[in-house]
Amino acid sequence: FHENTLKTSMTKWKPDFDSAASEYAKAAVCFKNAKQFEQAKDAYLKEAEYHTENKALFHAAKAIEQAGMMMKDLKKMPEAIQYIEKASMIYVENGTPDTAAMALDRAGKLIEPVSLEKAVDLYQQAAGVFENEDRLRQSAELLGKASRLLVRLRRLDEAATALQKEKNMYKDIENYPTCFKKTTAQVLVHLHRNDFVAADKCVRESYSLPGYSGSEDCVAMETLLQGYDEQDEDQVHRVCNSALLKYMDNDVTCHPLVCYVPITGSGLLCTHHRVWSVMYPSQGLVCYVPITGSGLLCTHHRVCYVPITGSGLLCTHHRVWSVIDPSQGLVCY
């Protein structure tokens, strides 16, 4: 159907790429309506090809993005994201970075149920595009999405860095109440990292923010840090279960690590789930819950540890002897 548009003659020196692209766009819509998504994808890519020949990069990017959506409908998420990322690069090249950032944001939402790691990458890319355009509020919002997923992925060092950058942006646009919330999130992440010094530093640095000293967020974090430092389980428990933290829109408060305080000679006690946890060298933090009259149940490996006279614990699955080592936690032999 497009051959005539691409033919040249004595009176028509250039192929009519615009008309060819238009014909492929119509075909793509027909295929899409018929739920023939593979053919629709091919038609969108041909449309993009002719828009590119015609130097209409914005329309080429739109067509490539639509090809990505066809892949989404086919449940081929990695391919869908590849097309959307390609489209975003063309948007930037065309001088429409806002459209690029919004496309990357949409891609992040699409891939989040499938791959948190890729979603983080896409949100960070989008944040970078907005930052380059001095769109700090939009950039900070996307960094917030990335930081929440980084916490969920237990990539806590990166989460702490992202939160600091996000907080600095909110400070630059003088959104101080949000800075208070980001300070709270920072403190919790640093306590996840077992870095009390960094958590305390975040609060001290935030005293310079207008209105922070004496605020609800400030008092809660001071109380939490005091309880953590003094190994006051009840005080930490009260703060962790306060409305301020319970309803925070951040994955950092959804993980029991926020409520861990040291207990002598054994490991950590989670004041939220009321379970005993130890640092297990190969796995990280592993929870053990009491089981009636016998011992502990490992919630990670789903195996039981029962006391054996004068020695420690016996793993009922691996049949290995385990002892509590204050420096490492529960160690198997």
- The 3-class SS string of 6-69 reads HCCCCCCCCCCHHHHHHHHHHHHHHHHHCCCHHHHHHHHHHHHHHHHHCCCHHHHHHHHHHHHH
Return the residue matching tokens 């309880």: 227
Q: Report residue 161 as tokens.
A: 């860095």
Identity of the amino acid at 220: A
Outline which parts of the chain fall under CATH 1.25.40.10.
1-133
145: which residues sit within 8 A by CB, 6+ positions away?
108, 119, 123
268: which residues sit within 8 A by CB, 6+ positions away?
260, 261, 262, 276, 277, 278, 279, 285
Region 1-133: CATH code = 1.25.40.10
Contact call for residues 191 and 221 (beta carbons, < 8 A): no
Identity of the amino acid at 9: S
pLDDT in 10s for each residue of the chain, 333 residues = 445 555 554 444 466 678 888 989 999 999 999 999 999 999 999 999 999 988 999 999 999 999 999 999 999 999 999 999 999 999 999 999 999 999 999 999 999 999 999 999 999 999 999 999 999 999 999 999 999 999 989 899 999 999 999 999 999 999 999 999 999 999 999 988 889 999 999 999 999 999 999 899 999 999 999 988 888 888 888 888 888 887 775 566 544 434 444 444 444 444 444 445 554 444 444 555 554 444 555 555 545 555 554 445 555 554 444 544 444 444 444
pTM: 0.72
69: which residues sit within 8 A by CB, 6+ positions away?
80
Contact call for residues 8 and 15 (beta carbons, < 8 A): yes
How many Å apart are CA 169 and CA 182, to the nearest integer? 11
